[in-house]
Amino acid sequence: MSNLRQTDRRFRSSVLFPGMLGVILAIVGTGSITLAADDVAAEVAPEPPFDPGRFDGGTNRSWSLIIGAGGSFEPEYEGSKDFKVSPLPVFLFTYGEWLEVDPTGVTITAFEHDGFKLAGRVGYESGRDKDDGDRLRGLGEIDFAATVGGKASYSWMGLELYGTIDQTIDGSESLIGTIGAEYKAPVTERLMLGAGVEAVIANDKHMAAYFGVNADQAAKSGLPEYHAKAGLKRVEMTASATYLLTENWLVKGEAGVGFLTGDAADSPIVEEKVQPSVSLFVGYKF
């Protein structure tokens, strides 16, 4: 301030004073406009983009892992009118963009370009126990077996369209194809909602194993003989919600309803064509 006062006294009577005063006012005015513009820009600056990786375990690392446990409430067998509660272990591991391991098996992505993926899958078919329902007595059991197959999918803006095909090795020797769509959307920074629809097509061997009744089975069970043929066996719709309790803990719930169709729906084994289910689990993200 002393330097400014000395300068002011030095040029007070000078004809340069009006010019300098104008320059100073121009500088101050320009600075004020700049500060005001910065304030406006700060006010309208967009929020950081939403990170869906917060919900599925994705991080800046090349791998992610979610482990947890829960339970499911579902029909005792496909077509049953009675329900059972089952434990639901959760293990979701991904490595890079090519490997995914979950409770249904292992998926390896062989090709990816602009949202389109081709992947190979190894999983299992749980089979069926003859004690799962009264109508299954005398029908024998369907053994647990491994499955191999593939998946083609296309993802865009939260929407995934996909098709899969899986062959059961031994067991029921089923060949099953699915066509479906799933959409996921963030509602808040902590809540993600999803919805999906899927159609399941099965070959003769699968339909005969799970919905058919041969002559020997008819004699033992008292059910009429029934020959179930290949075709569309089920259409299913699901809705899900994932909520982040903290940065690491999450809870996910899912509800679905399946509708048996065609020869599957008409089978004497089927007690109820509409097959609802719900599941809930709590997981920890590493």
**Model confidence pLDDT, tens digit, residues 1-58:** 444 344 444 434 343 334 433 433 333 344 343 333 344 333 444 444 445 555 665 5
Q: Which H helix or E strand runs over 152?
A: strand 145-156
Distance, C-alpha 230 to centroid of its chain: 29
Cα–Cα nearest to 127, from 146, 142, 114: 142
Contact 82, 75 (CB under 8 A): yes
pLDDT of residue 27: 34
pLDDT of residue 51: 52
Instruction: Point out the residues of the chain with pLDDT beneath 50.
Output: 1-50
State the CB neighbour count (10 A cutoff) for residue 34.
10
Classify residue 242 by burial, with Cβ atoms within 10 Å: 0-12, 13-18, 19+.
buried
Distance CA 59, CA 221 (A): 54
pLDDT of residue 56: 61
Tokens of 250: 């999450």
